[in-house]
Structure 1
Amino acid sequence: MYKNIIFDLGGVVVDFNPRDFLMDYFMNKSAEDAVYDLTFGSKEWEDLDRGDITRAAANRIMLENAASCGRTFEVQTVIDEWEKILRTKKTTIKTMCKLKLAGYRLYYLSNIAADTMENIKQRDFFPLFDGGIASCDVHVNKPDPKIYTLLMQKYHLAYEESIFVDDNKQNAQAAYNLGITGILYKNKKSFNRALGLCGIHLTNRRAPMPAPQQETKSNS
């Protein structure tokens, strides 16, 4: 019987689709691929998630790398604008509210930079979580099994009683390999269907939403 639902943040609880962001800004496949490699797909981005570098230092290195290949303007645009993509996924929050009402405990497990995590903590839905681990705090990124184990041990969660939801197949598979049921998040419909297959059938009764408040932008 499942008792715990563990959520990735970016891509599941808040929107995070850097490829769409780059397409909207540049509308050029070659530019999009180059800028992605210099920013979201860079070592510096991984180091930010792991908490091994500051935002200022990461931005400086990304701009230095961009200058060497003539992409300074594009990378500066990403640095200035990327946080706009972190919109709260209201459909996920509604499901979380229903899960909470049904008695499930909710946790987060996310690859996320420290300043972005502070942004998320200020949002009205955050108190729905019973706890969680951010990669920046433990210096380990998914899909390293260590970060899953840290979460399970910290909150004394039973693997067979837990479900992990992530929009990255590799991360969901890593949870499954440890004995946690992994759900690959694609959209609201597929997520609810997957919960149903796990025996979690949420009613259509309207769940109370957290009181709305302004989503503040964190400082870079």
Structure 2
Amino acid sequence: MKNHAYHSIIFDLGAVLVDWNPRYLYSKIFTTPEEVDHFLQNICTSDWNETQDEGRSLEEGTELLIAEHPQYEAQIRAFYGRWKEMLGGPIPETVRILKQLKDSGRFKLYALTNWSNETFPIALMEYQFLQWFDGIVVSGKEKIRKPQPDFYQLLLDRYNVDKSTSIFIDDNFRNVKAAEEFGIESIHFLNAEQLQQELSTRGILN
């Protein structure tokens, strides 16, 4: 716990405020959980998806992967062709916390997200709470992503944010660790109840 005033709260979006999971789609495509696991661990991997999050076009990413795994062409095309089916909706408990922070009027709220610039507009149309942020930095637009330090710096520079009075929230421990090494106090998000507790301990929420 730090005894200083916080001015800025920086949220990750996926798995913190937005329930996004490729398994929602691929459990419809494959018949067993083992097949889903194999496909997401070996074909459409998180590393491959993050390259699109860093600005590679969905078309290029898809065609490159099909060239490597032609036997999975239909399943690979579904990743972005049926991308919307990976969205489970808002995570209501965390959205409630975001609303409390917004309504308090005490903080600037930002989002720093690894997300393709081609699919992010879908989320913007889908989720009204994304309008509550004072600024959103999307990796696919900037062609840089977490955990690269320059991506955190970009948000600070663009919105004139002081990292010493900020707190960063992300479900990916890799990104949390990078933010802390960069000098931003961070919370590794596990669930909304834990987040509420962490924010209360810091005096951010009552």
Q: Which category describes the TM-score, using the shorter chain as reference length?
A: 0.7 to 0.9
Is the Cα contact below 8 Å between 1:23 and 1:32 reproduced in 2?
no
Identify the residue that residue 124 of structure 1 maps to in structure 2.
128
Identity in percent? 28
Amino acid at match of 2:34: K
Assess, with a 3 A threshold, how the Cα gap between structure 1 residues 139 and 162 changes in structure 2: closer, same or farther.
Answer: same
| Structure 1: runs of 5+ lacking an equivalent | 203-220
Amino acid at match of 1:66: H
Q: TM-score, normalised by structure 2?
A: 0.86
In 1, the alpha carbon distance for the partners of 2:29 and 2:191 equals 24
Identify the residue that residue 46 of structure 2 maps to in structure 1.
41
CA deviation string 1:81-129 (max 9, x = no partner) = 3322222222222111110111211100011101222122223112200
Identify the residue that residue 170 of structure 2 maps to in structure 1.
166
Is the Cα contact below 8 Å between 2:101 and 2:205 reproduced in 1?
no
Identify the residue that residue 22 of structure 2 maps to in structure 1.
18
CA deviation string 1:17-48 (max 9, x = no partner) = 335654565324255223443224243x2221
Identify the residue that residue 205 of structure 1 maps to in structure 2.
none
In 1, the alpha carbon distance for the partners of 2:201 and 2:91 equals 22
In 2, the alpha carbon distance for the partners of 1:60 and 1:196 equals 47
Q: Secondary structure at the match of 1:165?
A: strand
In 2, the alpha carbon distance for the partners of 1:42 and 1:9 equals 18
Q: TM-score, normalised by structure 1?
A: 0.81
Q: Secondary structure at the match of 2:115?
A: coil
Q: Secondary structure at the match of 2:119?
A: helix
Q: Secondary structure at the match of 1:182?
A: strand
Identify the residue that residue 96 of structure 1 maps to in structure 2.
98
Identify the residue that residue 56 of structure 1 maps to in structure 2.
59
In 2, the alpha carbon distance for the partners of 1:15 and 1:66 equals 28
Aligned residues: 198
In 2, the alpha carbon distance for the partners of 1:73 and 1:138 equals 30
Question: Larger % of helix: which?
Answer: 2
Is the Cα contact below 8 Å between 1:6 and 1:163 reproduced in 2?
yes
In 2, the alpha carbon distance for the partners of 1:28 and 1:16 equals 17
In 2, the alpha carbon distance for the partners of 1:134 and 1:121 equals 12
Q: Secondary structure at the match of 1:113?
A: coil
Identify the residue that residue 108 of structure 2 maps to in structure 1.
105
Identify the residue that residue 194 of structure 2 maps to in structure 1.
190
Is the Cα contact below 8 Å between 1:108 and 1:132 reproduced in 2?
yes
Amino acid at match of 1:58: G
Identify the residue that residue 68 of structure 2 maps to in structure 1.
65
Q: Secondary structure at the match of 1:177?
A: helix
Assess, with a 3 A threshold, how the Cα gap between structure 1 residues 121 and 30 changes in structure 2: closer, same or farther.
Answer: closer
1:139 aligned to which of 129, 140, 143 = 143
Identify the residue that residue 155 of structure 1 maps to in structure 2.
159
Amino acid at match of 2:86: I
In 1, the alpha carbon distance for the partners of 2:77 and 2:144 equals 27
